[in-house]
Amino acid sequence: MRKNSVKNTRINGEVQKVLAEIIRSEIKDPRVPEFTSVVSVDVAPDLKTCKAYISVLGDEYVAAEALKGLNSAAGYIRNQLARELNLRNTPTITFVMDQSIAYGVNMSHLIDEVIKSDEYRHVDDTEDGQEDR
């Protein structure tokens, strides 16, 4: 896999920032929830295509509806992106659902449960007279 150049990395960052602002403030589709995040953006080196990784707070149905709403507004989003960014080509945007934030939250909850059960077990051991040495 080819490593991104400094220019491509900078373009990815700018497209991500502008895309997040467009989705947050200009998309009025009720299918796109307020808590829609642009996790990362991968713009092709030729600036023709762009994959935008999106994360939505909610269940799978909410995420699927948000993806439908974003895909239906893709032309408008691309037009706004062209107005904001001065690129040689404005990339065609493909939205991809990214579940990494939901996965991280779920893992955090699981870790918290393990810590609580471990503390509870430790309290039971000390009450039985089996203190740690």
| Per-residue model confidence as pLDDT tens digits over 97-133 | 987 777 788 889 899 998 888 877 776 666 655 555 4
pLDDT of residue 126: 65
Residue 56 phi, psi (nearest 5): -125, 135
pLDDT of residue 102: 72
pLDDT category at 2 given cuts 50, 70, 90 is low
3-state SS class at 40: strand
Cα R_g (the chain), whole angstroms: 22
| Per-residue model confidence as pLDDT tens digits over 65-104 | 999 999 999 999 999 999 998 888 889 999 999 877 777 8
Q: In CATH, what number does 6-98 get?
A: 3.30.300.20
pTM of the complete model beyond 0.85: no
Q: Where are the alpha helices (DSSP H) in 26-129?
A: 60-72, 74-84, 100-127
Q: Say if residue 3's pLDDT is above 70.
A: no
Query: Per-residue pLDDT averaged across 12-17, rounded?
Result: 93
Residue 100 phi, psi (nearest 5): -65, -35
Angle CA 5–11–12, to nearest 5:
90
Residue among 41, 95, 109 nearest 66 (CA)? 95
pLDDT category at 1 given cuts 50, 70, 90 is very low
